[in-house]
Amino acid sequence: MASRRIAQSSVNWASLAERVPSAQKTNLTAFKSTSDKYLRSVLANPETPPKIDWAFYQKNVPIAGMVDKFQKAYEALQIPYPSDTLTSQIEAQEKQVRDEIAIFVKESESRIAEHQTQMAQIKSLLPFNQMTMEDYRDAFPDQALDTVNRPTYWPHTPEDQKVDVPDKPHH
């Protein structure tokens, strides 16, 4: 597999900086600086190594066959470019996260619609400072005082409605 020459960073630093919390900005700056340093060191070297002038060495090296042996070994040398084994895993994980985000967005939109319905209902009511007890009973029948069906004792809080009945003495 032939390697391709890196010409510039493929990282969108501006987009990444928007997503990084302000407490982590210094770490992002240090990371970008290190990344740029590596990129500069790669670009400082030529894309292909310089050609070796084997004829020059043939003439100037007195030991017979040594240059031929080195040339054969050099030309046989193949440094493999590392194979990409993680991109498929990352893409699968990205797809899974995108699916989870889509589900969350859909659920959030339904919750937003439900809350907007509730807000519209509350906004349609009389302001509380203008309501009478009858208006409150009509708007919130399950919360209003109902002395006939659900009699309560003052101060009408749930904690105060528990009535302790003493045990009957057994004869």
**Which DSSP state fits 129?**
G
Half-sphere exposure of 121 (CA within 13 A, CB side): 8
Task: Specify the pLDDT at position 5.
Answer: 66
CB 5, CB 47: distance < 8 Å: yes
pLDDT by residue, tens only, the chain of 171 residues: 445 666 667 788 888 889 899 999 999 999 999 999 988 888 888 888 888 899 998 888 888 889 999 999 998 988 888 888 899 999 999 999 999 999 999 999 999 999 999 999 999 999 989 999 889 888 888 888 777 887 877 787 878 877 666 666 665
Domain boundaries, the chain: 85-147
- The closest alpha carbon to 17, from 39, 32, 34, belongs to 32
Written as six digits, the tokens of 97 are: 């996260």
